Amino acid sequence: MARIGVFICWCGENIARTVDVEKVTESAKRFPGVAYATNYKYMCSDPGQNLIREAIREHKLTGVVVAACSPHMHEQTFRNACALERLNPYLCEMANIREHCSWVHEDRDRATEKATDIIRTMVEKVKRNEPLYPIRVPVTKRALVIGGGIAGIQAALDIANAGIEVVLVEKAPSIGGHMAQLSETFPTLDCSQCILTPKMVEVARHPKIKLYHYSEVDTVEGYVGNFERKIRRKARSVIEEKCIRCGLCQEKCPVRKVPDEFNAGLGMRRAIYIPFPQAVPALPVLDRDHCLQFLKGKCGVCSKVCPTGAIDYGQQETIVSEKVGAIVLATGYQLYTIAKPQNESLYAGYGEYGYGTYPDVVDGLQFERLLSASGPTTGEVKRPSDGTVPKSIAFLTCIGSRDNAKGITFCSKICCMYLAKHAMLYKHKVHDGQAYVFYMDIRSDGKNYDEFVRRAVEEDGVVYFRGRVSKIFKRNGRLVLKGVDTLSASQVELEVDMVVLGAAIMPQPGVEKLAQKLGVPYDKYGFLSEAHPKLRPVETASAGVFLAGACQAPKDIPDAVGQAGCAASKVLGLLSADEIERLPTVAKVNENNCIACWACLEACPYGAIEKKEVRDRKGNLIKMVAEVNDALCQGCGTCVAVCRSNSVDLKGFTDEEIFAELNAL
Amino acid sequence: MGNGLRELNEIAEGLLARGDVGVVVGYANGSLPGKTTPAFITKPEDAAKLVWNTRCYNNLSRYLTKKLVRKFGTIGLVAKGCDVKSVIVLIQENQIVRDQVKIIGVTCEGMSPIAGRPTSFLSKCVNCRVKTPTLYDHLIKMDEHPDQVDVDLSEIERLDGTNAENRWSFWTEHLSRCIKCYACRAACPLCYCAQCIVDKHRPRWVESSSHLRGNIEWNIIRAMHLAGRCIDCGECTRVCPANIPLNLLNKKMEEVVGENFKYRPGETADVAPWFQTYREQDVAEFFK
């Protein structure tokens, strides 16, 4: 015998102004099965909740309908109140008469009728609700961090320092990411390597961090608290335990002309190489695509000179398996390719700047390498074309960014700052040089950022033009820029020795595939999506998977480190209990009816459905049926929709409950 | 009766004698002249009862999902090109494993109508592209030809050319005669659900009584559940006692799926069914 309580909220004025709540209360009292109905100004307040609790006690209610705002707001509030009175929280539902009624209609009479209808449907539903209990799953107290740049490193350290073991996977031969390529960082002009390498070394030495360098994540299975990852460890051709880091192999390698990725293509490396002097691990890696031994079967010099026999041409890649409870994605960024041909048809390049045609037109990372003491010119600013010192350099902002016509609409956030930094560092190294910056707006919004840019203008004499450059071409051997200065409304023509382009910040290639494996959404550029742009910046739609750093959106180092700490705290929160509770509104298969066509299994976006064998007592196979993994299921209802034989139902939203709602209209 | 039939009898006999199959499902002479009936041959000596003529229109793959037939173990199935297509869909949907059925494929030049019945169900034969089945364990070349057939092919184009109101009245006129006998469901090889959704009563999604609304619900649900699966064997239309052109609905759904998702059912069992898989190249124009 149903005894439903209906509680109608005025929501101050939000509902009561449009809906006649007294009239609705009187109607609700007469619904079949309703034992008690009342209204109150603010149901979500303490006295409001107490009203519900008292009514449950006094009237022995078997179910509760709160007619108020959206369940997104307060379903949890009212369910908690019911639970305190020993009424199963899933016997409490909300009827949305605010977002679905009072906020979208103006006619008072008709809105009142509609509110009455909505409440009637929810009363009919609640009469058929069943009590549900949370599902508890055990948690593996380990974490996985994908990406060994500054964000990944920081997240790994923060989690490991709390005593949780971290597996850190980095696809490059060394950790450090792009920060390791920078010369000095804004706004303090700290040497990037000097502040980064202590953290890199800490990661290598930390007893709670397991570093898989030169490795990639292969497959993912499982769900929050219980992920199983297969990690593919690529073959360096060097035996880690034997190598003594003497560097002889690199010194003697006859292949000298492989474009160096660490130097952004400006310098050359050997076929066997240590990525950079401060690399962690400082192990050499053999690039099989350029090694004579692998291409032609003859050389073997590195193996001959190695004093410990650490070179192993036969080394194979291996697959290791790791069980973790939470994952942090910190895959970082890459620069937009400026030249005309683009990999993605979504973007268009700039042919007019001569990038790729003139060697003296470079991008931001390439200029960093020229400035860096460990770079191809040992820190002297020299033109890539002829090695002379440039006496004038132009720095162009917004190359790719903020340009609808080129397919990228966002601002890359860091370029205004790093181009000001480049201009200042150039002036510090070449005292009689002249630096020009062409800008659209200056975005220097961090702490001490604006002062930094002002320093470039006032102390280092950098000339700022507010305008864009339309074309760069060569005339008598010099680079000529044609641009505009909108503040003085004049055209600008400059002859410079070098140009640095501030290219847009894009996500790493291949991150879409990784995101698909993890069930994390991403936007059209490939930036991974956070669960809520303001309130949940590090969580994703996939429970147990978090984000840190530039993979989510372009950001500078302070923000990346901050976000990494935030992700670490979420991971620590998740892993702090031995068990986590999952919502019980999951799907359930009726095994009598299931005909094992696997439509649900294929359609489930979370891979939550498995094949199950039904056997008799003697062990003979009778039939196969589908089975839902409670812990993986997110209650989306896709399986319910695709099942032709109507054999799957969603707890908390069963066919009967929904049908009762429809019938009540 | 030609060499083809003799070969069929020999193959059937051989399969049974060697124990390769537990039963051969084929066609035998029916109770009335000019009719055939599905036959379930379990003894090698009975294999001679199998016949082949232009009245062998039943889609025998219907029996592959019947427990009483599966009890015999591996099944030998006499199958025309269209029948083989439904076998392929059954394999795709995990209702039978490939090596549980020995397909005795027969070439077919078309099945002829019964005198006095509308000929719309044979539109499938005139445009048939599977006169030789695409999947088989044995293949027999038959040399029967049907009589001249008078068929209106353009029914779907004609309906598409009219407006929605006309199409609605076309279908309500036909569906008002539906008596909910569910013969269409019984004859369809892909209607194999243990309990059909129309038989569910908690909640009652589909009215079972034969008034217009319930008839429309039933036939639309059936067309939706067969979208992208129906291989146009035409059995539903053949068995309908109320002469409703059911296969037109299904054919139209097949065209929609084919155009939008580049998928034709019954061609190969190596791909997953279109409805439950996501492919990056899937059309998404309905997203704005």
Asked if A602 and B277 come within 8 Å (Cβ–Cβ), the reply is yes
* One domain for residues A210 and A288: no
Tokens 């066509």 correspond to what residue?
A597
Percentages helix, strand, coil for chain A, rounded to the nearest 5? Answer: 30, 25, 45
Separation CA B178–CA A178 (nearest Å): 71
In a domain? residue A312: no
* One domain for residues A151 and A122: no
Q: Which among A594, A603, A644 has the least Cβ separation from residue B225? A: A644
Is residue B288 classed as helix, strand or coil in its secondary structure? Answer: coil
In a domain? residue A637: yes
Using a CB–CB cutoff of 8 Å, tell me whether A133 touches chain B: no
Asked if B276 and A644 come within 8 Å (Cβ–Cβ), the reply is no
* One domain for residues A93 and A115: yes
Asked if B93 and A655 come within 8 Å (Cβ–Cβ), the reply is no
Separation CA B235–CA B106 (nearest Å): 18
* CATH node for B155-263: 1.10.1060
Residues of chain A below pLDDT 50: none
By residue range, what is the domain housing residue A374? Answer: 333-506
Chain A residue numbers touching B94 (CB-CB < 8 A): 596-598, 624
Percentages helix, strand, coil for chain B, rounded to the nearest 5? Answer: 40, 10, 50
* One domain for residues A392 and A284: no
Is the distance from CB of A224 to CB of A326 less than 8 angstroms?
yes
How much is the pTM?
0.78
Domain final position from A99, A128, A157: A128
Tens digits of residue pLDDT in A442-465: 999 999 999 999 999 999 999 999
Tens digits of residue pLDDT in B185-230: 999 999 999 899 999 888 888 888 889 999 999 999 999 999 989 9
* One domain for residues A372 and A467: yes
* One domain for residues A202 and A274: no
Query: What band does B119 get if pLDDT is binned at 50, 70 and 90?
Result: very low
The shortest C-alpha distance from A313 to chain B (Å) reads: 39
* One domain for residues A545 and A626: no
A102: DSSP letter: I
Mean pLDDT in residue range B232-243: 90
Report the number of distinct structural domains present in chain A. 5
* One domain for residues A109 and A185: no
Q: What angle do CA A38, A127, A647 make, to 5 degrees?
A: 150
Asked if A655 and B203 come within 8 Å (Cβ–Cβ), the reply is yes
Look at residue B34 in the predicted model and tell me its pLDDT.
76
* One domain for residues A14 and A94: yes
In a domain? residue A400: yes
The shortest C-alpha distance from B225 to chain A (Å) reads: 6
Is the distance from CB of B167 to CB of B208 less than 8 angstroms?
no
Where b means 16+ CB within 10 Å and e means fewer, B239-267 reads bbeeebbbbbbbbbbbeebeeebebbbbb
Residue A189 exposure: Cα atoms within 13 Å on the Cβ side = 15
In a domain? residue A390: yes
Asked if A602 and B194 come within 8 Å (Cβ–Cβ), the reply is no
* B185: phi then psi, degrees, rounded to nearest 5: -65, -40
Q: For chain B, give every domain's residue range.
A: 3-140, 155-263
Helices vs strands, H then E, count in chain A = 17, 34
Which residues have CB under 8 Å from B255's CB, separation 6+? Answer: B156
Chain A residue numbers touching B279 (CB-CB < 8 A): none
Look at residue A557 in the predicted model and tell me its pLDDT.
96
Give the β-pairing of A184-185 and A215-223.
Answer: unpaired
Q: How far apart are the first and last CA of chain A?
A: 22
Chain A residue numbers touching B190 (CB-CB < 8 A): none
Using a CB–CB cutoff of 8 Å, tell me whether A664 touches chain B: no
CATH of the domain at A366: 3.50.50.60
From the candidates A128, A524, A597, A598, which should be mutated to test the interface with B, based on the most B CB atoms within 10 A? A597
Torsion sign over Cα A486, A488, A491, A495: negative
Look at residue A223 in the predicted model and tell me its pLDDT.
80
Q: What angle do CA A568, A573, A577 make, to 5 degrees?
A: 135
Mean pLDDT in residue range B4-33: 92
Domain final position from A128, A154, A171: A128
The shortest C-alpha distance from A7 to chain B (Å) reads: 28
* One domain for residues A170 and A204: yes
The more confidently predicted of residues B279 and A472 is A472
What Rg, from alpha-carbon coordinates, does chain B have?
A: 20
Is the distance from CB of A134 to CB of A631 less than 8 angstroms?
no
The shortest C-alpha distance from A598 to chain B (Å) reads: 7
Asked if A602 and B94 come within 8 Å (Cβ–Cβ), the reply is no
pLDDT of B148 higher than 60: no
CATH of the domain at A614: 3.30.70.20
* One domain for residues A327 and A341: no
Pull the structure tokens for residue A615.
């056997």
Tokens 């669960």 correspond to what residue?
A531
What Rg, from alpha-carbon coordinates, does chain A have?
A: 32
The shortest C-alpha distance from B200 to chain A (Å) reads: 8
DSSP-assigned letters across all residues of B78-103: EE-HHHHHHHHHHHHTTSS-GGGEEE
* One domain for residues A160 and A123: no
Tens digits of residue pLDDT in B240-276: 999 999 988 888 888 888 888 888 899 888 888 888 7
Mean pLDDT in residue range B72-85: 94
